Structure 1
Amino acid sequence: MSGAVDLSVLKERAQAKKTPEGARVAASVDVTEANFEAEVLQRSTQVPVVVVLTSARSEVSLALADVFERVAAADNGAWVLARVDVDSNMRIAQAFGIQSIPAVVAVAAGQPLADFQGGQTETEIRQWIDAVLRAVEGKLAGPGTVEDAAEPEDPRFVAAETALESGDFEAAEAAYKAILDAEPGNANAKTALRHVAFLGRAESLPEGIVDKADADRADIDAQLQAADAELFDQQPEAAFARLIDAVKRTAGDDRTRVRTRLLELFELFDPAEPFVVAARRKLALALY
């Protein structure tokens, strides 16, 4: 089930449940204002957490984060890389007193330990990390000691994920809907249901639907199906652009259908993704 939609929300959940107590922590994590306390402050009581602040507007910061990603993977959980998009999480940058990016802050035991701003070579980063690790040696709890043993797997999710892995989208959808009937606020089930609904549609798309939609722009059904095909083919920007163009050309019920489908497709991605932010802005302009 390859394609533009990432089912990691399901896979990561299953893998996390199977991680034994005391296993090494993950090498990196995307950090937002919502999970900053857990992933940076609390995690730093186990191992150092290196916060790399980036922006899509700064290629240097993104390249620096990639270097840290490689070094973190090589160190196998001795420390954790926390990637922060400052454009979406400005308060984190403010909390550290960051004036410009790229910027990097090492946090240990909930407190800043070391920092630098600007670009660095991989050799310099390696030396900086080694210095941080020496500074905290024997002073932190160690990986896998903060969290309790993994909680038992929820059999409802197990059934849904099993159906999904076997390609039975109808059964998976029914299982997630049953969870939501019992727990309307279950965020995991809501997210999974959106992914399953999309994959179910994508599985039955007709051949050549993109060409057909391009040839007949007035065919709303074809436009919706073509957008699904483009999204499944790893082209979210093309899918969004197609539906935004359709919004501009339609009115009444047709416009409502297209707009509703576009919003559904947005929900398949992190709302902070630059291409989602850009598409939402274009949709707003198309509507008003």
Structure 2
Amino acid sequence: MSDVTLQNFETEVIDASRHAPVLVDFWAPWCGPCRTLGPMLERLEAEAGGQWKLVKVNVDENQELAAHFGVRSIPHVVAIAEGQAVDQFIGVLPESGLREFLGRLSPKPAQLALYDAQQLAAEGDRAGAGAKFAEAIALDPETDAARLAYIGFLLDGNAIDDAKQQFEALSPGAAQQDAYAALRTRIEAMENLSGLPDEATLTGRIAADPGDLAARLDLARLLIARQQYEPALEQLLAIVRTDRGFEDDIGRKTMLSVFEMLADRPEVVSRWRRQLSTSLN
């Protein structure tokens, strides 16, 4: 068990969850139920022998993290696997309930294939990763997690047509998952890339006329396609500050999609969310 803050969240939770599920226990010293749940989780973690990891987040000291995960009541436990929140519960569960919850986190064959795919992708073995992604999808075709990860992998390799084909194969329920809007925005940005002016032309237009919101939007799309998300957010925020009504509030809407692309970097998202919130007030 370790204490986690916004500063080390990416290393201790996001990166660690790529090797084993991580339980994030949102608590506070004044919370009586938290003092009941915490020792139970610590004992079960010791019993698990490394099959999953427990971390604790003090909500009083880490309000941005709590807000990022929508924590309104504690104790609130969120399970993270492969960098994504996959399950959660609020309050104190009996030990039998905790064991049932933890049992759902045990990796299934499709999940193991997905882990292997992502590891191979990180190592640069795109052929091996592609085969493992296909295996994960075949093992559990009704679940969208592997297909969503595969779409991101295909986009990283500029395989836009293949990514679009996989995107169209997602279930209707996939639209409720965090990655859906982010991937759709990436696909649209990459599709439009060939029709966009080059970066030098766009930056020149903005320098000549900071109110050229069309140029700012095109530049943001160009940067999103290159996965240069923070410079893209800078252009989108400028659009929000200048004209909320521009193209049906596209600046704000696209910022929200980029936040999903940066879900594994909550400190970055928190910083830009604050700026967006200030601009909307």
TM-score by length of 1: 0.46
Structure whose alpha-carbon radius of gyration is higher: 1
Q: Which of the pair is proportionally richer in helix?
A: 2
TM-score by length of 2: 0.47
Higher RCO structure (Cα 8 Å, ≥6 apart): 1
